[in-house]
């Protein structure tokens, strides 16, 4: 309490000396910081630097977060803890997204998107009576924040990068078209996830992917060891040019769909089980041997499936060159699939965006919100496994499944 009083006296002295000082804003920051420190003290079970047997965990520095309030934008220093996670109870991680929806609704009125759908959305959100000047202010503020988040510098190394796209409907040139919304997520050297970039374009073409990838590399993307994506031709070509030197993992989920599409429906379950024995091997060399056994077994009855399996051999097991504790998270783009489901859920509320900018605005708000939530949960990869990654050793921390190295012919 004494520290708070000292800080308040210092703030009062600054205000008396300079009336330009925003005492209300600085006082709010002081109050919120003290509340967060009290919450963290309760979570850790000890005051700062206190030695006690009741301690449950330790403080672990701070992370900066911008908070938009009625008195303006303030910067908070949110405490971090070593075990578990902490996110202030007084913050609203979904606030930005709701503002984005308001902006999309008002633009939809102006640009003539389906009146029935927009009216339903307006009633659901309870935003009747919002003035056009307020709409313009909200849109301008959102665009500025979204662009700042989208173009921020990237610091540190990102050994893992996931890339994927989803489709959104946008009104352009008097007609409704499907546009590609692409997202890049990176795994940091500390084992956390971070949204690296996003964009909306006419299609998943080579040119679009090259421009997008060069953009995130130009902002500081470095240290990439493995890129995980599907086998889209344009994306593969762009990766070979922009991220030369990094390995490429073909998303296993997409690959299995492609392979089983070459097999009759009645045999898909059995063939799928055989192919999965490849990924249950303890190391990359054993996986190569198993893959050849499976391909040889499929060759007589399903030659196209066998050909695809051999063609993608190195790409679908590239993740096995990395720590085994990471395999489950880096063999596919599942981290992005879950994120895209949330994007689609929110975008389906709007239906058809009045223009590409409004789609980018909403998607950016969702991704920024997701980034905040990722900071509040435990690391995606443990510190120990990340140390193994940089030591250059797979370090089989998870026991491999025992499977026989033989396949019964179809």
Give the chain's residues under pLDDT 70.
Answer: 1-9, 11-23, 68-72, 92-141, 392-410
**Short-list 258, 278, 271, CA closest to 320:** 278
Q: CA end-to-end span of the chain, whole Å?
A: 76
- When computed from its CA atoms, the radius of gyration of the chain, rounded to whole angstroms, is 26
Instruction: Tell me what pLDDT residue 7 has.
Output: 65
pLDDT digits (tens, 9 = 90+) for 218-233: 999 999 999 999 999 9
pLDDT digits (tens, 9 = 90+) for 293-352: 999 999 999 999 999 999 999 999 999 999 999 999 999 999 998 899 988 887 887 788
CB 67 within 8 A of CB 74: yes
| Stated length of the chain | 410
Distance, CA of 255 to CA of 275 (rounded, Å): 11
- What six digits make up the tokens of 14? 């600054």
Neighbouring CB atoms inside 10 A of 215's CB total: 17
- What six digits make up the tokens of 292? 């050849």
Q: What b/e readout covers 339-372, taking b as 16+ CB neighbours within 10 angstroms?
A: bbeebeebbeebbbbbebebbbbbbbbbbbbbbb
DSSP letter assigned to residue 247 = E
Neighbouring CB atoms inside 10 A of 400's CB total: 13
Distance, CA of 223 to CA of 211 (rounded, Å): 19
- What six digits make up the tokens of 48? 């700062």
**pTM > 0.85: yes or no:** no
Q: What angle do CA 291, 292, 295 make, to 5 degrees?
A: 85
Collapsed DSSP state (helix, strand, coil) of residue 80: strand
- What six digits make up the tokens of 36? 């967060």
Instruction: Tell me what pLDDT residue 266 has.
Output: 92
Distance, CA of 310 to CA of 292 (rounded, Å): 7
Instruction: Tell me what pLDDT residue 342 has.
Output: 86
Instruction: Tell me what pLDDT residue 2 has.
Output: 47
Instruction: Tell me what pLDDT residue 272 has.
Output: 93
Distance, CA of 9 to CA of 27 (rounded, Å): 11
Distance, CA of 261 to CA of 263 (rounded, Å): 5
């Amino acid at each position: 309490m004494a520290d708070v009083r000292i800080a308040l006296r210092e703030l009062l002295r600054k205000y008396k000396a300079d009336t330009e000082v925003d005492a209300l804003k600085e006082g709010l920051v002081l109050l919120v910081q003290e509340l967060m420190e009290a919450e963290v003290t309760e979570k850790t079970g000890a005051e700062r630097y206190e030695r006690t047997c009741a301690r449950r965990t330790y403080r672990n520095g701070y992370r900066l977060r911008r908070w938009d309030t009625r008195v303006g934008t303030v910067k908070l220093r949110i405490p971090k803890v070593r075990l578990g996670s902490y996110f202030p109870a007084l913050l609203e991680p979904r606030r930005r997204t709701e503002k984005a929806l308001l902006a999309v609704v008002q633009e939809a009125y102006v640009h003539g998107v389906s009146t029935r759908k927009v009216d339903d959305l307006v009633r659901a959100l309870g935003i009747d009576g919002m003035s056009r000047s307020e709409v313009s202010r909200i849109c301008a503020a959102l665009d500025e924040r979204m662009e700042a988040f989208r173009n921020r510098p990237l610091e540190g190394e990102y050994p893992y990068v996931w890339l994927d796209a989803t489709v959104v409907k946008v009104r352009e040139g008097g007609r409704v078209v499907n546009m590609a919304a692409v997202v890049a997520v990176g795994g940091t050297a500390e084992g956390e996830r971070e949204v690296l970039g996003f964009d909306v374009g006419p299609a998943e073409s080579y040119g679009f992917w090259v421009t997008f990838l060069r953009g995130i590399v130009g902002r500081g993307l470095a240290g990439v060891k493995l890129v995980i994506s599907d086998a889209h031709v344009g994306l593969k070509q762009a990766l070979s040019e922009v991220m030369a030197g990094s390995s490429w993992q073909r998303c296993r989920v997409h690959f299995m769909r492609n392979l089983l599409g070459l097999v009759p429906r009645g045999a898909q379950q059995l063939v799928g089980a055989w192919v999965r024995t490849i990924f249950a091997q303890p190391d990359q060399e054993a996986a190569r041997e198993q893959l050849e056994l499976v391909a040889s077994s499929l060759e007589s009855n399903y030659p196209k499936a066998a050909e695809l399996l051999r063609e993608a051999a190195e790409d679908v097991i590239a993740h096995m060159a990395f720590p085994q504790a990471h395999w489950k998270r880096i063999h596919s783009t599942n981290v992005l699939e879950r994120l895209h489901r949330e994007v689609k859920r929110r975008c389906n509320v709007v239906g058809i965006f009045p223009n590409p900018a409004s789609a980018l605005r909403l998607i950016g708000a969702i991704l920024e919100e997701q980034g905040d939530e990722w900071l509040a949960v435990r690391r995606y990869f443990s510190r120990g496994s990340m140390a193994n990654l940089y030591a250059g050793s797979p370090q089989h921390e998870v026991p491999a499944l025992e499977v026989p190295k033989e396949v019964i012919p179809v």
